[in-house]
Structure 1
Amino acid sequence: MEDEYLRFGPEALRIELRQLADAGRPVGEVVEDLETLATDMAADDRTYHERARELLDRCEQLPSGHRTEPDTLAAIRQERPDGPRRFEALSSPGHDALRGAWAGRCAGIRLGKPVETWTREEVRRFLTTTDQSLDSYLRADVAGSDEFAMDATGGWHDWVTGMPRDDDLDFTVVALETLRSCGKEFNTTDLAQVWLENLPVCKLHTAERVAYRNLLNAVDPPATARRWNPYRELIGAQIRADCYGYVTPGAPERAAELAFRDARLSHVANGCYGAMWVAAMLAALPAVKNLQDAVAVGLTEVPTDSRLAAAINDVLGWRKAGIGFEAAIDRIHATWDDADFYEGYHVVPNAQVVAAVLAWAGSDPDLGTALARAVGAGFDTDCNAGTIGSVVGFHLGFDALPDEWVAPIDGALSTALADRPRPWLEDLVTDTLAVARAS
């Protein structure tokens, strides 16, 4: 039986070393052991599995690095800048806005899904070779496609009907189901129970899979995010945050808190901050003038001196200085390599891509342009395009979204959830609206 989800491979140890170093933790006493064991495991990872767990236990006990990147909500709030926290009382979001958010999220995921494991250069080469563009969903039945790994993730327009299953959408529905069953006062243990009852472990990846494994081993949250988890600052929590912004209009602080309760099941520090930023940004949308203002409000809910805040502020600074969009994306790629697994899926460069697309969208965003820019930027294409589609769709409303993007979703969605495998878009909107209206 292939039980990779239960084991650690050499790449996980190498990622752990990079994660420790990036967090500013002292790696001197473990670096040689991590590198040696990673080499040994490449030959026989079953033999060295126990050694890997013991070594990761040692890594977890290393002193903290960046003191301005705390992991508790109270400490995070002490390190954040001034912000609105809550705007004047707003009514619950309208049906059209929520339908736009869900549909926009689906459209972004659907566009980015076929190429989510590819680099920016591979995406560009594919578009040129097959004479396609990102102004519509991508097809596999075209001349030149046989040069590429077309079955890596699926989702090609001519291969699917409606909205294909994707973990980015699974977690949005999981968040909604948690809110429906437990209310806005849910805690991380409540969320964990929904995961265990609904999600098959082999449909999860990186930090989420590790957290799930920890739950099965009787590890309680938030230790589930730290134990044997090299992926704790990757993008996973950020893609789970949207629904918390949908249900807290005008209350970015509340949205960030809900996203934090979710994120801490599997992530720490910047991994949590990305989720808090996205949720707060969405919650701010009904109360601000444009997308760039929403991006800025989202930042008021994360620590000022965190790596995530610094990176997003760099992007906003480039926009203010008059740098063009493509030049901004080039700058992100100059620092982060999307061909490298750790860097390609780390929360920081992906948050920068999201911020860039939204900051350059202006006051009159176009869904198609925004999605094309998100996918064309590389990195985690379906995650970033899903977040972008969610924000733009929430801002514009469903009636303003082009039919060519929303019609193929076809009303029904596919998920991995045991209790909700084929939800209809309209039902998700209705349920989200009910949660938003609840106290």
Structure 2
Amino acid sequence: MRPVRRETLAVLVAEEIRRDIIHGAFKRGEKLPPENELARILGVGRPTVREALRILEGEGWVQFRFGGGAYVAKDGKSPEGNLTHFQKEEMLELLRYEILELEEEGKEIPPGVREDLERLQETNALEKIERFYTFLANLKQRKDYPYHEPSDWEGIKRERPKEPTKASLRVDPKTLRDRLEGAWLGRCIGCTLGKPVEGWPKEDIEAYLKATGTHPLSDYFVYAPEKIEEGRHPFHPSAIEATRGNISCVPRDDDIDYTILNLKVIEENGFDFTSEDVAEAWLSYLPFNMVYTAERQAYANLVRGMKPPFTATYWNPFREWIGAQIRADAFGYLAPGNPELAASLAYRDAVLSHTKNGIYGEMFVAAAISMALVSDDLEEVINAALSQVPQRSRLSELVKEVMAWSESARSWQEVWEKVEERYGKYHGVHTLPNLAYVLVALLFGEKDFKKTVAIAVMCGKDTDCNGATAGSILGAMVGKSGIPEELYLPFGNRVKSSLSGLCEVKIDDLVEATMSLVQRG
């Protein structure tokens, strides 16, 4: 796995040097700084810089002179037009998402902004696109925006309820071990259950289940792609390894990668780890091609030399999407009965790539798992998690709304309709609608593990994430003893991972490592 990471870093370093050439920081025919100087500026090793320069040489951007180092290619030597167009299209796509994000954050969007953006299609001057991005970054907040959503730790603490929930309950070591094992298994089961239909809307999932005679969902999906109606979503490329009769382990998924990785972060750095420690773990263990949306932008920003929390904001319009929320679980596992500690650990992880509700989603889930490990009361679990996030945030409002709707609704589908009406405007992998689906599953699952994860998946959208989160929270409540063994026996105690040096681990070892850290902490 390590060679993947080196290649990825070299590609990103090449991108930075290429950008400087395009913007005129290095002129045509000019000698580039020595490799050791570039390594110092970019915060990477000299071999990575050398590899990046070779990439640029192959593309025609850089020329090597015998005994003289690397030079920017002279006019006519580099394919600048094609590459600039590729970068331009990527930047414009990010800006389209950025405008949506700014609207959701309550920024004052001037009339004609989208038209101005589309006119940038006509330019090859990346400086103009950068200036437009800077203009957007400086937009002011709408005066009528009803929410207050800080991203800094002190601001979040001020906006929480005056007395955040502190658990007074404890469980004996044997019960705790059972619950931790239930949480790990629950996450693995929920992720695997939702993996084949990741990104599918509710109606497509329902149609497929009915076509295969398996509605409502009560077990892993049957693999029958011929049953998918024309015009509906196809299976996820890795679907078959997560379907009934074809499961031999927990398939590799980022929802599991991050849980293992964050356990590793605390093993190596202790409970006082920093966001920079998380960043270093990403660069050391995570291949770049296995991270997505907000995490991909943050990873690239790390290589550009940025540090948290700036890695979360620069050219990152995905900063409130679900990526941080799926990284929460290990912090809940490691703080049983202490939701405030769990939320603070999650915060240090989240700020690497997320802001506002992206951060709150991770804090909420970590706190919920923390309380679920010591409580049998679902309402207590949700309220404990709610007490850790800003009261005047959209996420806090969502949780309260879903709980209120669920009290009077006759079915989970009825609440799902209300969620769609209220939060359907958000992207399918945004934190808010997906957290709502997790809550719907928990509130209507009646503490039945199989029913709960099935509802989370049948709600649609980010099905593997939501199945994993619902499974983790409820698994922490009911323990391994409350999970049907036919759901975890197919795993053979094995988990696949993309993490360098951890490509396959045993579930038992993850539970043991978690228990050891809890006892040490």
What SS is found at the alignment partner of 1:343?
coil
Describe how 1:44-63 pairs up with structure 2 within 5 A: 47=124, 51-63=128-140
Q: Secondary structure at the match of 2:315?
A: coil
Deviations for 1:74-94, whole angstroms, at most 9, x for unmatched residues? 110111114454223736672
Structure 1 gaps of 5+ residues are none
Could you give the per-residue CA deviations for residues 385-408 of structure 1, whole angstroms, max 9, x where no partner exists? 100000111111112210121112
Q: CA deviation at 1:430?
A: 0.5
1:38-117 paired onto structure 2 within 5 Å = 40=121, 47=124, 51-64=128-141, 68-88=148-168, 90=170, 94-117=176-199
- Aligned counterpart, 1:311: 398
Aligned to 1:344: 428
Deviation at residue 367 of structure 1 after TM alignment: 1.1
State the shift of 1:70 in Å.
0.4
Aligned to 1:406: 488
1:300, 1:201 → 2: CA distance? Answer: 35
In the alignment, the residues of structure 2 paired with residue 4 and residue 359 of structure 1 have an alpha-carbon distance, to the nearest angstrom, of 44
1:150 maps to 235
Deviations 1:122-163 (A, max 9, x none): 111221223334211112246524855234443442554211
Who is 1:25 aligned against? 107
Output the amino acid matched with 1:433. Answer: M
Match of 1:282 among 369, 374, 379: 369
Identity %: 33
Q: Please give the secondary structure, in 2, of the residue aligned with 1:371.
A: helix
Q: Give 1:32-431 correspondences, 5 Å limit.
A: 32=114, 35-36=117-118, 40=121, 47=124, 51-64=128-141, 68-88=148-168, 90=170, 94-133=176-215, 134-141=217-224, 143-145=226-228, 147=230, 149-154=234-239, 155-157=241-243, 158-337=245-424, 343-362=427-446, 365-431=447-513
Where does the alignment leave 5 or more consecutive residues of structure 2 unmatched?
Answer: 1-6, 16-86
Q: Matches of 1:84 and 1:26 in 2, distance apart?
A: 33
Separation in 2 of the partners of 1:174 and 1:294?
Answer: 25
Note if contact 1:117-1:152 (Cα within 8 Å) is conserved in structure 2.
no
The more displaced of 276-285 and 53-62 is 53-62
TM-score, scaled to structure 1 = 0.91
Would you say the 8 A contact 1:291–1:361 is kept in 2?
no
For residues 255-313 of structure 1, give each alpha carbon's deviation from its aligned partner in whole angstroms, at most 9, with x where no partner exists. 10000000000000000000000111111124434222201110000011100110111
Q: Contact 1:241/1:276 (CA < 8 Å) preserved in 2?
A: yes
1:208 offset after TM fit, Å? 0.3
Radius of gyration: which is bigger? Answer: 2
- Alignment RMSD, CA only? 2.6
2:59 match = none
> What CA distance in whole angstroms lies between the structure 2 residues aligned with 1:207 and 1:34?
25
| Corresponding pairs, count | 429
CA offset at residue 165 of structure 1?
A: 0.3
Would the alpha carbon gap of residues 151 and 313 (structure 1) be closer, same or farther in structure 2, given more than 3 Å must change?
closer
Contact 2:164 2:388 in 1 (8 A): no
- Secondary structure at 2:250 match in 1: coil
Give yes or no for contact 1:208–1:236 (8 Å, CA) kept in 2: yes
**Distance between the aligned counterparts of 1:99 and 1:125, measured in 2?**
34
Q: Which moved more, 1:51-60 or 1:247-256?
A: 51-60
Q: Which moved more, 1:89-98 or 1:421-430?
A: 89-98
Contact 1:237–1:267 (Cα < 8 Å) also in 2:
yes
TM-score (norm 2): 0.77
Structure 1 residue 49: Cα displacement: 5.5
Q: Secondary structure at the match of 1:413?
A: strand
What is the CA-CA distance between 1:246 and the residue it aligns to? 0.7
Letter in 1 for 2:206: R
